[in-house]
Copies of this chain bind each other. A is one copy, B any other.
Amino acid sequence: MLQRTRMKRKSTGRPAKERILDAAEQLFAQRGFYGVSLRDITQAAGVDVALVSYHFGGKRELFTAVFERRAEVLNRERLELLEEVRRRALPAPPSLEAIANAFFEPLLERSARGGPGWKSYFALVAYVNNSPEFGPMMMTRHFDPLVDRFITVLCEALPGCPPREIYWGYQFLTGALTLTFAETGRLDKLSGGLCRSTDLDSVRERLAPYVAAGFRALCERALAGAPDKPGRVGAARRSRRRP
């Protein structure tokens, strides 16, 4: 009677929806949104293509679902750590090192010891953060409240420092962190094996002192009388403190 025999379903324990998210997480992190097809993803997940439309609605929605899955738990943890650091230092503001550490320590910890999914996730965040197309919308939507809070605490820790300097310092910090999470392996080649970009413990030890010193330098530069528009080096010195 011409009945078709269907493939038995894979049924590898984990529900299909999460298998899709896992596979998409890894592939999107490796090759970006456009570099991966739904068939790449569903094949890696051992699942039919149509399930993406069924469970998520479309490719775009799958992409944001992957991005959102781990964002909230992460933000909560980082915020709690920041407030704890703040409480411990009372009545003084916490050190810049402690603030910076609260910012990226939960990320480095999970990337190093949270399993391969987390590692892919941070590479994906690095991709999104650097993307002119996805970056502004997705990062802003999910991470801005947290970043605002960090900026506020940084301002308290650097009294008298113009907020503009804090924002630029944060920009440099997040850039350094982003490239680290991209884990392109370039540092390994460059250093001839002296540094391994997967060695997140090395990052953990160094990033906080690095950016803390950077913040202080920015603050000093601003307070020590850098004019609004220094132009060339000579002109800057000349126009300062006109008698």
* Partner-B contacts on A (CB < 8 A): 29-35, 123, 126-127, 129-133, 135-136, 139-140, 144, 147-148, 151, 163-165, 167-180, 182-187, 189-191, 194-195, 197, 201-203, 205-207, 209-218, 220-221, 226, 229-230
Contacts and interface: CB of A to CB of B under 8 A. Distances in A.
A209 B30 CA distance: 34
A218 B183 CA distance: 21
Given A169-B210, A171-B179, A32 B34 contact: yes
A218 B209 contact: yes
Contacts of A190: 140, 144, 147-148, 151, 167, 170
Nearest to A171: B187
Given A165-B206, A172-B207, A184 B135 contact: yes
Contacts of A185: 132, 136
Given A147-B190, A164-B195, A172-B176, A182 B135 contact: yes
B187 A167 contact: yes
Contacts of A164: 191, 194-195
B202 A168 contact: yes
B210 A194 contact: no
Nearest to A126: B130
A170 B201 CA distance: 17
A171 to B, nearest CB: 5
Which 10 pairs show the lowest CB-CB distances between chains A and B? A175-B179, A213-B217, A34-B34, A172-B176, A135-B184, A210-B214, A175-B176, A34-B35, A213-B213, A167-B191
Contacts of A218: 206, 209-210
